[in-house]
């Protein structure tokens, strides 16, 4: 059996969890939270990094910080995880789904300017597979129309756009440490705040149930009080300790992913040249993080055949997002920009994600490639 995902342990997690327990600080914002946040600030150059209990929570914080409210529109792709939309729908806003680019499967920046209306409040850019959106274009649209630019960088830790770490180019960025991501803590996430200022200060308050507890812990105020709206968005020290055991190996985890990604990429070169599959496209000015490897096969029918054949051979491959715009909640809460989203509908029906985790070796990659070739190779012969 070749699993699709296998959470990788670096071996340091239990030691840090034991330390957290010994320190008798199990709630949030202890030593391990601080270490993890400092690491993130150092590595991403974000002015502020705040651990959250999920990327979903960080996106909800972004919607609150941006004061997105009822009737506001938020431009986003339909080809994304539900949390990108939910964070704004919870505030009463309307997702406006824009089509994706056929090469990176990211928001088609050329269609975004046209989707801006008087009600548009924010753009949510999702870096699919850890490959950056066209942030220069999105940034200039956001500046021109005074919009909040949020990066759903759930899959993007370690990836860059023109040398800049993803999650720190827009106003606010959200990372995920869910067990399916590159660096994990089971459930977990972080909010990245690009610049020091009102967002950074208020983010600390929202995350601590609307209190100024963070400044109280720093000794900056003498009592802590309810000063704003908020919720409990922070993880416990047990989770932060696990994460700290991972972050210190983040570079090694990244290199391993990239190696596996390259291994797949070479193995499918011939099938792409034969016109049978389309491999991922990585634009020249971005670096990715090997988060996932996908193939676009010729038709939805062939996708089904490949998935079934792979499963029969013990290879666990998956499709990915069911587009939000045609899902029940998407129809209820959102709308599309100009009718159909043909690229989204087409590509989401033809995409296969291949197994991707730390333990995959050359033999496994060969087995996956052989299984895909067995189904699709016939096509070449025809
Ligand atoms: C994983 C993921 C999320 C959700 O992350 P959680 O940490 O599970 O809340 C949101 N958006 C995208 C694009 C994701 O891949």
3 inside domain: no
What whole-number distance in Å separates Cα of residue 157 and Cα of residue 176?
Answer: 8
**Cα 134 to middle of ligand 1, angstroms:** 20
Our separate counts of H helices and E strands in the chain read 15, 13
**Cα 320 to middle of ligand 1, angstroms:** 13
Q: What is the per-residue pLDDT for 195?
A: 83
Based on the domain organization, do 232 and 260 belong to the same domain? no
Based on the domain organization, do 172 and 87 belong to the same domain? yes
Based on the domain organization, do 217 and 266 belong to the same domain? no
**Cα 222 to middle of ligand 1, angstroms:** 37
Assign residue 366 the CATH number of its domain: 3.90.1150.10
Q: What is the per-residue pLDDT for 382?
A: 43
381 inside domain: no
The ligand 1 atom at the shortest distance from the C-alpha of residue 181 is 1
Based on the domain organization, do 195 and 265 belong to the same domain? no
Residue that is last in its domain, among 214, 247, 280: 247
Based on the domain organization, do 325 and 204 belong to the same domain? no
The total number of residues written for the chain in this structure: 382
- State the total domains in the chain: 2
380 inside domain: no
126 inside domain: yes
Based on the domain organization, do 212 and 336 belong to the same domain? no
Which domain range does residue 335 map to? 250-375
Based on the domain organization, do 213 and 286 belong to the same domain? no
Based on the domain organization, do 72 and 210 belong to the same domain? yes
Residue that is last in its domain, among 210, 230, 247: 247
Based on the domain organization, do 158 and 256 belong to the same domain? no
- Cβ-contact 172, 67 below 8 angstroms: no
Based on the domain organization, do 132 and 157 belong to the same domain? yes
53 inside domain: yes
Q: Which residues line ligand 1 (CB under 6 A)?
A: 54-56, 80-81, 83-84, 126, 152, 154-155, 176, 178, 189
188 inside domain: yes
pTM summary value: 0.97
**Cα 56 to middle of ligand 1, angstroms:** 6
The ligand 1 atom at the shortest distance from the C-alpha of residue 126 is 13
370 inside domain: yes
Q: What is the per-residue pLDDT for 379?
A: 63
Residue that is last in its domain, among 222, 247, 272: 247
Cβ within 8 Å of residue 341, ≥6 positions away: 78, 97, 98, 99, 100, 323, 325
Q: What is the per-residue pLDDT for 338?
A: 87
Q: What is the per-residue pLDDT for 353?
A: 98
Tell me the backbone φ, ψ of residue 43, rounded to 5 degrees: -75, -35
**Cα 82 to middle of ligand 1, angstroms:** 8
Based on the domain organization, do 21 and 138 belong to the same domain? yes
> Whose CA is closest to atom 14 on ligand 1?
154
Based on the domain organization, do 39 and 122 belong to the same domain? yes
7 inside domain: no
In tens digits, what is the pLDDT along the chain, a chain of 382 residues?
999 999 999 999 999 999 999 999 999 999 999 999 999 999 999 999 999 999 999 999 999 999 999 999 999 999 999 999 999 999 999 999 999 999 999 999 999 999 999 999 999 999 999 999 999 999 999 999 999 999 999 999 999 999 999 999 999 999 999 999 999 999 999 999 998 888 999 999 999 999 998 888 888 888 889 999 999 999 999 999 999 999 999 999 999 999 999 999 999 999 999 999 999 999 999 999 999 999 999 999 999 999 999 999 999 999 999 999 999 999 999 999 989 999 999 999 999 999 999 999 999 999 999 999 988 877 654 4
Assign residue 127 the CATH number of its domain: 3.40.640.10
Query: Strand 189-193 and strand 172-176: pairing?
Result: antiparallel
Q: What is the per-residue pLDDT for 380?
A: 54
What whole-number distance in Å separates Cα of residue 330 and Cα of residue 160?
Answer: 30
Task: Name the residue of 178, 181, 353 to mutate for ligand 1: max ligand atoms within 8 A of Cβ.
Answer: 178
- Cβ-contact 260, 356 below 8 angstroms: yes
């Amino acid at each position: 059996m070749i699993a699709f995902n296998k959470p990788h342990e670096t071996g340091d997690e239990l030691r840090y969890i034991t330390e957290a327990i010994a320190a008798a600080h199990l709630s949030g914002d202890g030593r391990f939270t601080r270490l993890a946040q400092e690491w993130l600030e150092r590595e991403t150059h974000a002015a502020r990094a705040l651990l959250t209990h999920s990327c979903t929570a960080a996106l909800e914080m972004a919607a609150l910080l941006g004061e997105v409210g009822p009737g506001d529109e938020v431009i986003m792709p339909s080809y994304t995880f539900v949390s990108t939309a939910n964070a704004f729908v919870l505030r009463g806003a309307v997702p406006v789904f824009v089509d994706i680019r056929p090469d990176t499967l990211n928001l088609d920046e050329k269609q975004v300017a046209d989707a801006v209306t008087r009600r548009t409040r924010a753009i949510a850019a999702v870096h699919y597979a850890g490959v950056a959106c066209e942030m220069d274009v999105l940034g200039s649209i956001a500046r021109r129309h005074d919009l909040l630019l949020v990066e759903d960088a759930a899959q993007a830790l370690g990836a860059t756009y023109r040398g800049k770490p993803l999650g720190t180019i827009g106003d606010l960025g959200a990372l995920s440490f869910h067990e399916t991501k590159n660096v994990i803590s089971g459930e977990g996430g972080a909010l990245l705040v690009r610049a020091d200022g009102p967002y950074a200060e208020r983010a600390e308050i929202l995350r601590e149930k609307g209190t100024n507890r963070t400044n109280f812990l720093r000794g900056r105020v003498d009592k802590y009080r309810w000063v704003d709206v908020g919720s409990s968005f922070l993880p416990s020290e047990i989770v932060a300790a696990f994460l700290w055991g991972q972050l210190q190996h983040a570079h090694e985890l990244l290199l391993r992913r990239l190696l596996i990604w390259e291994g797949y990429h070479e193995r499918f070169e011939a099938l792409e040249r034969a016109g049978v599959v389309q491999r991922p496209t990585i634009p020249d000015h971005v670096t990715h993080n090997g988060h996932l490897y996908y193939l676009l096969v010729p038709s939805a029918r062939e996708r089904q055949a490949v998935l079934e054949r792979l499963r029969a051979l013990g290879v666990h491959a998956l499709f990915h997002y069911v587009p939000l715009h045609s899902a029940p909640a998407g129809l209820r809460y959102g709308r599309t920009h100009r009718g159909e989203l043909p690229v989204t509908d087409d590509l989401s029906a033809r995409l296969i994600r291949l197994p991707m985790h730390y333990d995959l070796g050359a033999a496994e990659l060969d087995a996956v490639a052989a299984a895909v070739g067995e189904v699709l190779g016939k096509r070449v012969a025809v």
